[in-house]
Amino acid sequence: MRQSRRGKSCQKLSRRTVLRGLGASIALPWLESIPVWGDETTSRRSNEPPVRFACVFAGNGFAKNHWWAREAGGTMELGNVLTPVEAFKEKLTFIRGLYNPNARGCGIHSCMTGNLLTGIRLAAGGRIRAGVSVDQMLAEHVGRQTRVKSLV
């Protein structure tokens, strides 16, 4: 051991130790796909894809001249921003014209994100007490089929 500039002792790491640590960290993303021995809690068949939900908020909106879709299904025409998802267009749904009047009146950060999943007007000062959100409603429904209902 030697002393660092701050007076604390530090230990040199061998190349082998660093490589071992890097190897473990590279393998981490694949660990969730390894079945746990004796785990029979999942009701999903192995050939069914997992059910996931994601909500995306774009505070300053989207560039309409690049981010658009016309028609539906296999005949859907996509804007240049969406070309990476071209292969999945039959599974995509684009919703236009949504407006939530309850997202006004208390600032862009608290109002527009605070009621994103509930649609309910926030309490005074932007305090979030807005009832059950759509992600938690989905967790109640889909969560019966999973080990952990919700991460929130």
If you compute the radius of gyration of the chain from its CA atoms, what whole number of angstroms results?
24
For residue 68, tell me if it sits in a domain: yes
Of 26, 2, 27, whose CA–CA distance to 13 is shortest? 2
Average pLDDT over residues 17-37: 63
* Same domain assignment for residues 59 and 103: no
* Same domain assignment for residues 120 and 152: yes
* Same domain assignment for residues 72 and 106: no
pLDDT at 125: 64
Cβ proximity of 45 and 145 under 8 Å: no
* Same domain assignment for residues 103 and 87: no
What are the backbone dihedrals phi and psi of residue 77, each rounded to the nearest 5 degrees, phi first?
-105, 130
Domain that holds residue 143: 99-152
State yes or no: pLDDT of 91 exceeds 70: yes
Looking up tokens 């969730």 gives 32
For residue 38, tell me if it sits in a domain: no
For residue 6, tell me if it sits in a domain: no
Exposure string for 107-135, b = 16+ CB within 10 A, e = fewer = eeebbbebbbbbebbbeeeeeeebeebeb
Per residue in 30-41, pLDDT (tens digit) is 555 555 555 555
Q: How many domains, in total, are found in the chain?
A: 2
| Confidence at 129, pLDDT banded by 50, 70, 90 | low
Per residue in 45-90, pLDDT (tens digit) is 667 776 677 777 776 777 888 888 888 888 888 888 888 988 988 8
* Same domain assignment for residues 64 and 76: yes
